[in-house]
Amino acid sequence: MNHVVTERGTPAGPPPPSPNGGRRGRLVEVVIPVYNEERVLAASVERLHAYLTSTFPYPFRITVADNASTDATWRAAVDLAARLPHVHATRLELKGRGRALRHVWSTSDADVVAYMDVDLSTDLDAFLPLVAPLLSGHSDLAIGSRLTRGSAVVRGPRREVISRCYNLLLRTALAARFSDAQCGFKAARTEVVQALLPSVEDEEWFFDTELLLLAERNGLRIHEVPVDWVDDPDSRVDVLRTARDDLRGMARVARRMLTGAFRAPVGGRTRPGGAGPDGARAELPAGMARQLPAFAVIGVISTAAQLVLFVLLRTVLGPLWANALSLVVTTVGNTAANRRFTFGVTGSERAFRQQMEGGLAFLLGLVLSTGGLAALHAAAPGASRAVEVAALVAANAVATLVRFLLMRAWIFHPRRVRAHGPSEVHATAAEESGGTPS
């Protein structure tokens, strides 16, 4: 009988002996978080168990984490734990994929913890390359990526566009360096992830992204593995709700970065050139370490506001006019907010001229977003509102990066601002010159 537990940790049977089977003694625990998956759970776990038993060179444990299913998922999980060696089951009474992973990972005694989606969309041949750098100590976390060279992905254009937009937004707004935050195929060294978990706030779909951003912020090494991936047409994910929650999560993380609270008690690696766990910040040009988080927060808020305005205006206007009007309104607010909070410029002098110069960013965003919408409707006439919003997010992400560079290097450059009155500029000019803000 295998080990079955509830959220309260009450065992339903004795734990099995260590599954060494004559192989090397590093234990890998694979978690499969599930919610109402009675139809596919047994076949997926049996397939994974057979694969690991026949090919995986390390001891393993499979843990099915049922988070508040209302169908027969829990009964199926208990049956699997009774039939298959090295399969465990645990049940939580609250929903949330992040909550399920946190529950299992935080108490695991394995050397490496991993998870994969129950549909096994990712080819299992990528699993050993995923965990090998963690077992060797080369890396701290590992992710499967559908967006790197060497990956092979089969999925519809809607989910492809949304996924690429999301990851592009992460890279431009929060300076993420990993390529695919959402692939349900990840692993980590247990001591590392257990140190990070108390600083991860999300309990649902943003959990993965927040964990990876926190790991990067603390100088940890993330290994990426290109994967073969086939979309599950029966996915239960509410794309619009998930996108909204992800934007909220990004805004929350950006605020924590801005206040310096996005930290965890884990030692990062020394980077080339002597930089430590905070090496990314140390390598940035003067002033940018403070500017980027503020710009990211304002950018996320502006993007969310523009999307809301676009959806509202779209009820009475065509997509191009709705996009143009929503972009005009949010560009004015974005420029004013960045003037004050990102670049530390106050006072009314030159404010109008700086708004006009910021209008170049508006034109850039208008060209990119209008072109993106036009190309979308040319390629897919009658595209849904959700796909239109995804296309806008992608265009805005590219425009955001260029807008930051324009503002920093031209519109609000400290030498240019100081030439028109030293009282206008505060923190930015001091940082650029190597001093401290007064």
Record: fold of 4-259:
Spore Coat Polysaccharide Biosynthesis Protein SpsA; Chain A (3.90.550)
β-pairing, 228-230 vs 152-154, is parallel
CA 151, 154, 158, 162: dihedral to nearest 10 degrees?
-20
Per-residue pLDDT, 337 = 85
Under 8 Å between Cβ of 280 and 349? no
Q: How far is CA 425 from CA 416, 417, 438, in A?
A: 10, 7, 10
Strand partners, 114: 30, 187
Q: Alpha helix (H) ranges present in 338-409? A: 351-379, 385-406
Per-residue pLDDT, 409 = 67
Per-residue pLDDT, 234 = 64
Under 8 Å between Cβ of 67 and 77? no
CA angle 40, 43, 49 (to 5 degrees): 130
Per-residue pLDDT, 302 = 82
Which parts of the chain have pLDDT scores under 70? 1-25, 233-240, 268-290, 361-362, 364-366, 369, 396, 398, 401, 408-409, 413-438
pTM, entire model: 0.64
Under 8 Å between Cβ of 80 and 45? yes
Q: How far is CA 415 from CA 271, 309, 347, 435, in A?
A: 32, 36, 17, 14
Under 8 Å between Cβ of 202 and 98? yes
Alpha carbons 153 and 169: distance in angstroms, whole number: 21
Per-residue pLDDT, 71 = 95
Per-residue pLDDT, 350 = 74
Residues annotated as catalytic are 208
Nearest to 67 by CA among 119, 10, 120, 118: 118
Under 8 Å between Cβ of 229 and 183? yes
pLDDT digits (tens, 9 = 90+) for 323-379: 888 888 888 888 888 888 887 787 777 778 777 777 776 676 667 767 777 777 777
CA angle 200, 201, 207 (to 5 degrees): 70
Per-residue pLDDT, 107 = 96
Per-residue pLDDT, 67 = 93
Which residue bears the tokens 């750098």? Answer: 133
Per-residue pLDDT, 330 = 85
Per-residue pLDDT, 243 = 74
What are the domain boundaries of the chain?
A: 4-259, 286-432
Under 8 Å between Cβ of 203 and 273? no
Per-residue pLDDT, 284 = 45
Alpha carbons 241 and 156: distance in angstroms, whole number: 19
pLDDT digits (tens, 9 = 90+) for 96-120: 999 999 999 999 999 999 999 999 9
Q: How far is CA 129 from CA 1, 86, 99, 123, 133, in A?
A: 31, 21, 26, 12, 7
